[in-house]
Amino acid sequence: MTAPPGPALLAVDLGLRSGLARFGADGRLQWYRSQNFGTHARLKRAVPAVLQDAAPLAWLVLEGGGPIADVWEREALRRALPVLRVAAEDWRHRLLYAREQRSGSLAKDAADGLARRVIDWSHAPRPTSLRHDAAEAILLGLWGALEVGWLAQVPAEVRR
């Protein structure tokens, strides 16, 4: 997947199956996908190619921590790429209503609907099916675009 020109933000919902979402400096989603790395060793080998595929990047936004986050952070450091790390609860607090966060399944359902609105607002290709890790990466990227100042607020077309 070739990235459009211009600085971008790559949001990663961490895991051996990761959600990836690239946002342009206008705050709009450019592309998204789910990628199954299978093993930690394969993830470690793939991260440089994923970052190169998404280049040029101005930010890397990661949800979560641990050894998988460390792999992404090491490669970002090697590229002098700034990293924002956030817990799911923090970006959910900013983007989802409290009633949608009462359980993990409620939050995932709400994230799916909101991610689809971001896709529509961004004029990105609509998914035939949207995996929860890709949906969460989209919302993580929206949160990141707000955090770095690329968006002043959640766009009216995305809000409910």
**Residue 147 has which token pair?**
């955090």
Question: With a threshold of 0.75, does the pTM exceed it?
Answer: yes
Confidence at 88, pLDDT banded by 50, 70, 90: confident
Asked, for residue 44, whether it belongs to a domain, the answer is yes
Average pLDDT over residues 76-95: 93
State what percent of residues in the chain have pLDDT above 70.
96
139 belongs to a structural domain: yes
Range of the domain at 14: 8-147
Read off the pLDDT band of 100 (50, 70, 90).
confident
Tell me the helices (H) and strands (E) count for the chain, helix number first. Answer: 5, 5
Four-point Cα dihedral 81, 153, 32, 96, nearest 10: 110
Q: CATH number for the domain including 52? A: 3.30.420.10
Residue 152 inside a domain? The answer is no
Q: Is residue 50 part of a domain?
A: yes
Over the stretch 38-63, which tens digit does the pLDDT of each residue have?
999 999 999 999 999 999 999 999 99
153 domain residue, yes or no: no
Number of domains composing the chain: 1
Flag whether 58 is in a domain.
yes
Whole-number pLDDT of residue 128: 78
Q: For 102-114, write each residue's pLDDT tens digit.
A: 887 888 888 889 9
Check pLDDT > 90 for residue 134.
yes
Residue 156 lies in a domain: no
Whether 63 and 91 have beta carbons less than 8 Å apart is answered as yes
Find the mean pLDDT for residues 69-78. Answer: 97
Please check whether residue 155 lies inside any domain of the structure.
no
User: 39: which DSSP letter?
Assistant: S
